[in-house]
Structure 1
């Protein structure tokens, strides 16, 4: 399950530190009592929430929302125009924007902005900030992970327009969920490379204190939506999943998204806690796939990727690595739960096999010129079929998944090894192409539509040569002109044109399944564990008002703004 914020932002390590405000004062780090009793909770006065995002190792300070190493500025500190709940249908929730509308042919999106909003340094928020933010995306391709390409214009202080030369209905959700930054501070920085240490936003929280082991945000008393009831949120850096599970057992963490033992019986084991989950992220072995862009290794052969897909016993994988919380996955990467209607009828298989099919893997490899050696492992042209999977140290479920896959793959004649590294190193490897395979999850876009996942991960314009940072999230370095053309056509079609859209999905899904740059594992359930004795208002029991993952920043902000402490003084 992904522990980082699943947003379409390019990944690159930052190199230059600038302070955005000379006068912003850092508050005191809130001290949280570490109690051993599972019923003790974590905050002394009931209004402090302690969260664990899955951060393995110390935090490196950076609150630049356009940076791959941003540790938590989106939503809480910097807000978008609207919030879209990916787990349900319904209208976007107004934030910095209050209304939006399209012209009849879908070329102009008009947005009305909220009046009376101020940045946390007291400066007024206006249309100039909105225009500046989107123009910055146009001027800096390295941060334009969604491929934003509209002309943005100010109508007056509370109205802006976005104009495209062709219909652009599908681009609307990405536009209205992009976070906005203050022009008066950001005009002097390099958004691609600068580290932000003292962020100024319009959000419900401001940075209070930062240390490598933990950072704290505090409620913004002048927030336009009213000061949130959860007054302080402390984000811990631990050593990995086991430490997170231990913290739940000790009652020292209130919210984490990640595995703990016997998750199905969390409330029975820990009466102050319960769980919530939604299966929406496709767990994959992402490959550095394109040799033409500099990828090296046997994983550049589509036959190898296909063979590994059939070598996996997903029933066993689910049981051993994911406590049977994962769900089926379509190799088209469309969700079978909510996007089944968009799965092309010509694609086979429509759902990944639940058990291993080694004979199918053998058929694919043999036809491609691979032959088994004396050690039972395939080889071709003197190259052994040995693959290394990158994983973050401490992500125990993913590490167990690789170990399980390695045993399954060996039975099919494929050698698989794991390479563990810090989250920063793992991110840097993926987005510069210095890897063979990496275990991670793809993620849904701002609206429940498979178009967005395809545009993030399969658009050749969102990648780069090995050694250069990918311009977007296409770290597999997948490139197919037919897919690019289909994405371009989809971006111009009305959501109501189901026949026209399906014709383009057919093209994309054929390439996705045939070439398989991201090898499908399962759809991850991303289960959160949260303190129900200390806080009420979690998105469960039919109240799925946001995606319930602590690392999904825009969703987490909505959750934190909704929660009510039960015992605040």
Structure 2
């Protein structure tokens, strides 16, 4: 989930390669046949290398646990407009002015060590988030009050309507009786996690770890008994394992995606436009960024120089779609895409003349080697990409050829996921290909707060969370803050002027250079398990690295025939 980071697009990849030899080898997955235990779902998140044991749900390096081990209060479906589904919570409501949130909790829930769950755990978690900057990616500043064992209120000085999905849906609750004794929760890896979720950690090895069903889960023990996470060597290894029937679910590219189901009997494929693929730029010189990419003219030139049709064909098998430079999703958020944008969506073909005109107007001169320069500094930049992510590698290599035609030199640097993530988080990079994740509910507000608000960033050398570009614009900050205080039920007319302001600014400044909306493609073994999301019943975003969506899917899966 470059998750993210986590729950972000954490197709986490580390150094080294391993094979899937942990699993019994067998012939290809004919008839939906997997070479694995019929009660065990084998998943591959894209990690290339070895797992680093970390189940702290608030750590950017957590490998699993959000939703599956540690539960939020509610599940918010980012893929479509659904009512929130209760997890540890059963009801919530705002007072009339949006300054007090009342939450009713599920009763008779126990932690996996047998201790009772109650409102004290929720209050402790919320206070921990508020008081720990590394955990507080959405600026939560509420005051929590325990009413009784199953009721909590959260009070705010100002209306805070838009905090609810993040607080209730993206904040996994942790046990006070354990976490109160942790001196440094930001760095604790939580090797033996204790949660309320449908699964428990069973065993761990660097090459694979297993979650097993929780027999005491409040909603009944899941019918899916085991989930085994394996580490491979990258996208190609994942595709090979799928072809051999050795894994049951992965989210990532495979060859000949158009004929995948025909070539993989029993397997299904689903593609959802969600995460927005971008060139992340370290953009803000005031926070320590250095390099040609700090010039908005350079970022604009790169934007216009891309031939997205070619990128889509060569790198993404035509599964990606148009992206808006205002970063509202053209399909899901169509109503919010500003009419004031110069480009409602990015052109799918290159405009070399426009790119060159922008550079020359900004004072760049093309040298004898064909590369533009200004004040003696050539337009030469390095773009980071994770080793083994073949789609992204193809994309940036193709992009380097395209940009060279307009006088920009791009050097591709492949490195481990750990290296790419660390440099991106700390600002020690020029460009990196990655995806922006959509946020807590299906509303563009969250992508703006997460990636474009100055609250979400830090100077170079400190870890941004997750405004990696170091973007800071007071006008954008103010519009985001006003949106956060508006009740979404007040309607679009009240909210759209703020969206217009934000989108116009970020189209102009372009701290994240739009590539395309990724068609997030998942391949899964429908012959072995039933209950998967479909285009008709898209009850969760079906990416194996998207949390807590993965846990919602685990709870719905049943071994075939049951």
Do Structure 1 and Structure 2 share a fold, with TM-score over 0.5? yes
Q: 1:116 corresponds to which residue?
A: 108
* 1:284-320 Cα distance to aligned partner (Å, 9 max, x none): 0000000111111100001000000000000010000
Q: 1:486 aligns with which of 467, 479, 484?
A: 479
Structure 2: which 5+ runs fail to align? 11-20
- Give, in angstroms, the shift of residue 90 of structure 1: 2.1
TM-score with structure 2 length normalisation?
A: 0.95
Equivalent pairs counted in the alignment come to 548
Name the SS of the counterpart of 1:142 in structure 2. coil
Matches within 5 A, 1:448-459: 448-459=442-453
Comparing 76-85 with 442-451, greater Cα deviation is found at: 442-451
Where does residue 514 of structure 1 map in the other structure? 508
Distance of aligned partners of 1:494 and 1:479 in 2 relative to their CA distance in 1, 3 Å threshold: same
Assess if the C-alpha contact under 8 Å between 1:208 and 1:218 holds in 2: yes
Secondary structure class of the residue paired with 2:93: strand
Alignment of 1:143 onto 2:96: no
| RMSD of aligned Cα (Å) | 1.6
Task: Please name the residue that 1:127 is paired with.
Answer: 119
Alignment partners' CA distance in 2, 1:500 and 1:430? 36
Matches within 5 A, 1:68-79: 68-79=60-71
Q: CA deviation at 1:500?
A: 2.8
What is the rounded CA distance, in whole Å, between the counterparts of 1:220 and 1:172 in structure 2? 28
Say yes or no: does 1:411 pair with 2:392: no
Cα deviation 1:407-461 (Å, max 9, x = unaligned):
1111111111111111111111111001001101001112111100000000101
Q: Distance in 1 between matches of 2:226 and 2:561?
A: 14
Cα distance between partner residues in 1 of 2:257 and 2:153:
47
SS at match of 2:272: coil
Whether 1:94 and 2:86 are equivalent positions in the alignment is yes
Deviation of 1:209 (Å)? 0.8
**Residue 432 of structure 2 is aligned to residue 438 of structure 1:** yes
Preserved contact between residue 33 and residue 42 of structure 1 (Cα < 8 Å): no
CA contact (8 A) 1:369 1:380 kept: yes
Spell out, residue by residue over 1:96-131, the C-alpha distance to the aligned partner (whole angstroms, 9 max, x if none): 000111111111111100000000000000100000
How far does residue 338 in structure 1 lie from its aligned partner after superposition?
1.8
Q: Deviations over 1:441-482 (max 9, x none)?
A: 001112111100000000101111101111x21011000111
Partner secondary structure for residue 440 of structure 1: strand
Q: What corresponds to 1:187 in structure 2?
A: 180
Residue matched to 1:281: 275
Q: Please state if 1:476 is matched with 2:447.
A: no
| Contact 2:72 2:168 survives alignment (8 Å) | yes
Structure 1, unmatched stretches of 5+, are 11-29
Instruction: Evaluate the alpha carbon distance shift between residue 43 and residue 157 of structure 1 in structure 2; reply closer, same or farther with a 3 A threshold.
Output: farther
CA separation of 1:357/1:411 partners in 2, compared to 1, >3 Å: closer, same or farther? Answer: same
Contact 1:9–1:143 under 8 Å retained in 2: no
Report the CA distance shift for 1:334/1:147 in structure 2 as closer, same or farther (over 3 A).
same
Residues 9, 435 of structure 2: 8 Å contact kept? no
* 1:498 Cα deviation after fit: 2.2
Q: Which residue of 2 aligns with 1:523?
A: 517
The separation in 1 between residues aligned to 2:210 and 2:446, in whole angstroms, is 33
How much has 1:41 moved relative to structure 2? 3.7
Instruction: Give the C-alpha shift of residue 9 in structure 1.
Output: 11
- SS of equivalent to 1:109: strand
Distance 1:259 1:8, change over 3 A: closer
* One of 248, 253, 257 as aligned partner of 2:242: 248
Preserved CA contact (<8 Å) 1:312 1:355: yes
Give the corresponding residue for 1:428: 422
**Alignment match, 1:238:** 232
* Mapping of residues 304-343 of structure 1, within 5 Å: 304-343=298-337
Instruction: Verify the 8 A CA contact 1:3 1:55 in the aligned structure 2.
Output: no
- 1:565 aligns with 559
1:32 and 2:49 correspond: no
Q: What pairs up with 1:155-166 in 2 under 5 angstroms?
A: 155-166=147-158
SS in 2 for 1:196: coil
Name which of structure 1's ranges 506-515 and 451-460 shifts more when overlaid on structure 2: 506-515
Q: Match of 2:387?
A: 393
Give secondary structure in 1 for the equivalent of 2:125. helix
Q: Deviations over 1:23-54 (max 9, x none)?
A: xxxxxxx9632223232744544100100001
